[in-house]
Amino acid sequence: MEALAGTQFTFPNQTNFYKGKVRDVYSIGADLLVMVASDRISAFDVVLPRAIPFKGQVLNQIAERMLNETADVVPNWKMASPDPNVTIGKRCEPFAVEMVIRGYLTGHAWRTYSSGLRTLCGVSLPEGLKEHDKLPSPIITPTTKASEGHDEDISREEIIAQGIVSAEDYAILKKYTHALYERGTELALKRGLILVDTKYEFGKHDGEVVLMDEIHTPDSSRYFYAEGYAERQAAGEKQRQLSKEFVREWLISEGFMGKEGQEVPAMSDSWLEEISNRYIELFERVTGESFIKQDYSNVENRVEGNIIKALRTLQS
């Protein structure tokens, strides 16, 4: 199965190139950013050795839809999506934190809680909770944005004290994060899903706080199936998830959690296909539409050509 493992283009008026964990980001002039969603996959802040067919298309097309669906709530960076794997938007000055919001005690929050800790990023958690329980109200648990290695939990107080974000800007980030999560929860419920937790990234453009990057995708979010949630929780059963948590669980079962000295396990063709199918399932469930697999026979030329055409239009 072919996949888009990465790109290395050179565009007219290109001023910078940045290779993230899963995205290739091109700066065009002073004002534009081209973001290519590759098929790379990361877990525990480590890029895994094999790319997942159609994953980038899933991420980009869900993000495009969700940016459109939330534009009335929070201003965002998107200007165009000229290719299934590409978004072009306003170049912003990013805040060096990711705004993680959690409505349920799951994943990293549960692992922290089950270790005995009752505070996460300066937020106190009540006693007596079980894995996947709904929290009394959504909590924000920010992380630093590491260019390399692991993102780290950080509290609001530490963010402000260290001058990472001003108190005034953090108040806006907090307000926008809650508003986006509320809208995302509404959109998910229409599709029979629960938006369990997610993360948002923000920047500034012309002095305005703007939502950047992806939103409500399987890489940035976790979903449960709403039907049967309460019954499964009452019975102590595992929740039905739509997220990449199953990839993390597989890595943990293979003895890998991104720690020093651990070796990433080999990924078979059948496992790659399983991951790809799970991403496609999430696309179809979240959007309510059938996923149309794009032609990968000459994917890099397709992506490059569509970007060049779009940049001509945007810069004319």
Position 120 scores a pLDDT of: 96
For 94-246, CATH number? 3.30.470.20
Give the pLDDT band of residue 80 (cuts 50, 70, 90).
very high
**What per-residue confidence (pLDDT) applies to 97?**
97
Identity at 54, one-letter amino acid code: F
Q: Per-residue pLDDT for 164 more than 60?
A: yes
**191 backbone φψ class: left, alpha, beta (φ>0; ψ -120 to 50):** alpha
> What does the pLDDT look like over 266-305, one tens digit per residue?
999 999 999 999 999 989 999 999 999 998 889 999 999 9
pLDDT of residue 149: 56
Q: Is the dihedral of CA 214, 228, 137, 129 positive or negative?
A: negative
pTM: 0.91
CA 209 centroid distance within chain:
19
**pLDDT tens, position by position, 180-234:** 999 999 999 999 999 999 999 999 999 999 999 999 998 899 999 999 999 999 9
User: What's the pLDDT at 222?
Assistant: 93
- Count of beta carbons in the 10 Å neighbourhood of residue 205: 17
Q: How far apart, in whole angstroms, are the C-alpha atoms of residue 139 and residue 141?
A: 6
Give tens-digit pLDDT for 110-163: 999 999 999 999 999 999 999 999 999 999 999 998 655 567 999 999 999 999
Spatial distance between the Cα atoms of 140 and 99, rounded to a whole number of angstroms: 7
CA atoms within 13 A on the CB side of 249: 9
- Tokens 């002095």 correspond to what residue? 207
Question: Rounded CA gap, 252 and 271, in Å?
Answer: 15
Would you state the pLDDT for residue 14? Answer: 97
Range 238-261 average pLDDT: 91
In terms of Cβ atoms closer than 10 Å to its own Cβ (0-12, 13-18, 19+), residue 262 is: middle
Q: Where are the domains of the chain?
A: 14-92+266-315, 94-246
| Span 23-50, average pLDDT | 95
14-92+266-315: CATH number: 3.30.200.20
pLDDT at 145: 82
The predicted-structure confidence for 233-245, as pLDDT tens digits, reads as follows 999 999 998 888 8
All residues at 6 or more sequence positions from 173 whose CB lies less than 8 Å from its CB, including other chains: 95, 97, 99, 165, 202, 209
The answer to whether the CB of 216 falls within 8 A of the CB of 243 is no
Residue 315 has a pLDDT of 87
**Are 14-92+266-315 and 94-246 the same fold in CATH?**
no
Residue 103: in which H helix or E strand, if any? strand 97-104
Query: What stretches of the chain show up as alpha helix (H) in DSSP?
Result: 55-70, 108-114, 156-161, 167-190, 229-234, 245-253, 269-287, 299-315
Looking at this protein, which amino acid is placed at residue 195? L
Residue 44 CB burial class (10 angstroms; 0-12, 13-18, ≥19): middle
